[in-house]
């Protein structure tokens, strides 16, 4: 096993998720996630940003195998959980036979049950992600039941109460129903449910977006505290760069199902390279007029193309002011620009 493999908690490579959607009489694939690769180290937070509909949720759900991946490889803690069998050479080119069809290696499709204890998810909507017919105790207790993590009723209860305490919920409310709680409290219930199995990795899918601004900060701080206490790694999905930059060690930028740029949080902030990242950053108004005048702002024009009608080549080219002929012909690959900074662009 190479050093890299032992260091990463989670590795995702060439992950694809195509949804078949009906168009008239036939089905066409909607490429919600197309060839995405990244890795997360233990205890690290990777932020994932991008406009709504770019496939962030799908990435999170697919790597947890809530959706069956169309293709790709998912490795967790050194174990391959899923591998569709495509092989890639050192230059990350698909290995094909003479007819252009991929040569398949070993396919892997592991039973996820044992890994459900290691990888968890906090959902975006604290309202719809909690069963309205269950008490808080049963919601948090369900993972304990499923994985048989207690030996007596009393132990189950103790665990639930300490989880509630951990996420800042009043233990007296254990017998209440989710609908009796405010949004922030519900999200804490969802977090407690994810933490119940003591996971090493949690996907936080816009876990704070649905909350009030003042409560967002509380919950984000809680995520940080939990990470310090428990050493859990996060894939922190958000469309709000403020939150992501605050919590993340590294940030990945997605556009139309593709990875555009990935770098350390501060590196991305100080030295954004991809035109899409630049436009995301300059969409933020700059308080100081002096700085504003100096900065060259890029305003995003036009709409995001439909994922059913992807532009050829670079998906961003319809809105990119640096676009050249090459951009329409060839899909740019993620390239290392040093400093662990990867960018997928021909011209930047």
Partner 1 sequence: MSNENLELKKRQILSSQVDLSKFNSKNFEKATDEEKAQQEVMGESTTFFKDGMRRLKKNPLAMGSIVVLALIIAIIIIAPIFVPYSYSDMITVNGVRDKSASNLGMFEYSNAEMKYMESTGESLFPHIFGTDSLGRDYFIRVIYGTRVSLSVGIVAAIMVLIIGLIYGSVSGYFGGKVDMIMMRIVDIIYSLPDMLIIILLSVVLKEVLASKIKGTALAALGPNMISMFFVFGLLYWVTMARLIRGQILTIKNSEYVLAARCIGTKDGRILRRHILPNCLSVIIITTALQVPSAIFTESYLSFLGLGVSAPLTSLGSLANDARGAMQSYPSRLVIPAVIICLIVLALNLLGDGLRDAFDSKLN
Ligand X SMILES: Nc1ncnc2c1ncn2[C@@H]1O[C@H](COP(=O)(O)OP(=O)(O)O)[C@@H](O)[C@H]1O
Site residues, partner 1 (CB under 8 A): 49, 51, 61, 64, 66, 112-113, 116-117, 120-121, 123, 125, 128-134, 138, 142-143, 146-147, 173, 175-177, 179-182, 184-185, 190, 193, 197, 212-215, 239-242, 245, 268-270, 280-288, 291
CA dihedral for 87, 89, 95, 98, sign (positive or negative): negative
Residues making contact with ligand SF4 (CB under 6 A): 275, 314, 316-317, 320, 322-323, 327, 332, 345-348
Q: Could you tell which of ligand X, ligand SF4, partner 1, none binds residue 58, using a CB distance below 5 to 8 A set by kind?
A: ligand X
Nearer to ligand X, 21 or 284 (CB): 21
326 contact partners, CB below 8 Å, separation of at least 6? 313, 346, 347
Residue 304 C-beta: closest distance to ligand SF4, Å: 14
Q: Does 57 bind Mg ion (CB under 5 A)?
A: yes
Residues 269-328 interacting with ligand X (rule: CB under 6 A): 307
Smallest distance, ligand SF4 to C-beta of residue 321, A = 8
Nearest-approach distance from CB 233 to ligand X, in angstroms: 20
Element housing 56 (H / E): helix 56-63
Q: Are 276 and 260 in contact (CB under 8 A)?
A: yes
The least distance separating Mg ion from the CB of residue 177, rounded to whole angstroms, comes to 26
Task: Please say which residue, 133 or 229, places its beta carbon nearer to partner 1.
Answer: 133
DSSP state of 171: G
Q: What Rg do the C-alpha atoms of the chain give, in angstroms? A: 21
Q: Which does 129 bind (CB under 5 to 8 A by kind): partner 1, Mg ion, ligand X, none?
A: partner 1
Smallest separation (angstroms) from ligand X to the CB of 67: 7
Residue among 199 and 332 whose Cβ is closer to partner 1 = 199
In DSSP terms, 16 is beta-bridged to 71
Distance separating alpha carbons of residues 319 and 338, to the nearest angstrom: 27
DSSP character at residue 346? S
**CA-closest candidate to residue 79, choices 33, 43, 117:** 117
- Partner that binds at residue 348, options ligand SF4, ligand X, Mg ion, none, CB closer than 5 to 8 Å by kind: ligand SF4
Where does 271-321 have alpha helices with state H? Answer: 275-282, 289-294
Pairing of strands 250-255, 258-264: antiparallel
The pairing of beta strand 71-76 with beta strand 108-109: unpaired
**Which lies closer to ligand X via its Cβ, residue 136 or residue 235?**
235
Distance of CA 12 to the CA centre of its chain: 11
3-class DSSP state for residue 93?
Answer: coil
The entry of ligand X, ligand SF4, partner 1, none near residue 81 (CB within 5 to 8 angstroms by kind) is none
Asked if residue 54 binds ligand X (CB under 6 A), the reply is: yes
Q: Are 159 and 150 in contact (CB under 8 A)?
A: yes
Structure tokens that stand for 155 in this block:
């132990």
Residue 21 interacting with ligand X (CB under 6 A): yes
Binding site for Mg ion (CB under 5 A): 57
Binding site for ligand X (CB under 6 A): 19, 21, 30, 32, 50, 52-58, 307
């Amino acid at each position: 096993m190479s050093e890299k493999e032992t260091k990463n908690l989670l590795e995702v490579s060439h992950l694809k998720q195509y949804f078949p959607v009906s168009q008239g009489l036939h089905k066409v694939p909607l490429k919600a996630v197309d060839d995405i690769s990244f890795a997360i180290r233990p205890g690290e937070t990777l932020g994932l940003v991008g406009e709504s509909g770019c496939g962030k949720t799908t990435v999170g759900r697919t790597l947890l195998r809530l959706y069956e991946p169309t293709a790709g490889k998912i490795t967790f803690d050194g174990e391959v959980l899923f591998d569709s069998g495509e092989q890639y050479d050192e230059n990350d080119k698909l290995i094909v036979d003479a007819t252009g069809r991929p040569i398949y290696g070993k396919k892997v499709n592991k039973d996820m049950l044992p890994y459900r204890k290691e990888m968890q998810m906090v959902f975006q909507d604290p309202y719809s992600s909690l069963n309205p017919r269950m008490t808080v105790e049963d919601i948090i207790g369900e993972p304990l039941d499923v994985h048989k993590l207690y030996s007596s009723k009393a132990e189950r209860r103790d665990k639930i109460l300490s989880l509630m305490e951990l996420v800042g919920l009043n233990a007296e409310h254990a017998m209440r129903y989710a609908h009796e709680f405010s949004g922030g409290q519900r999200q804490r219930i969802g977090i407690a449910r994810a933490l119940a199995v003591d996971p090493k990795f949690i996907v936080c899918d816009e876990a704070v977006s649905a909350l009030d601004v003042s409560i967002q900060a509380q919950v984000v701080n809680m995520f940080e505290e939990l990470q310090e206490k428990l050493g859990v790694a996060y894939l922190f999905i958000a469309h709000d760069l403020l939150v992501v930059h605050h919590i993340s060690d590294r940030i990945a930028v997605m556009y139309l199902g593709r990875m555009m740029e990935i770098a350390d949080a501060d590196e991305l902030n100080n030295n954004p390279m991809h035109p899409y990242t630049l436009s995301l950053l300059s969409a933020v108004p700059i308080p100081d007029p002096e700085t504003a005048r100096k900065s060259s702002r890029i305003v995003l024009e036009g709409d995001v193309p439909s994922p059913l009608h992807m532009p050829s080549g670079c998906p961003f080219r319809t809105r990119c002011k640096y676009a050249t002929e090459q951009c329409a012909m060839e899909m740019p690959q993620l390239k290392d620009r040093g400093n662990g900074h990867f960018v997928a662009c021909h011209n930047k």
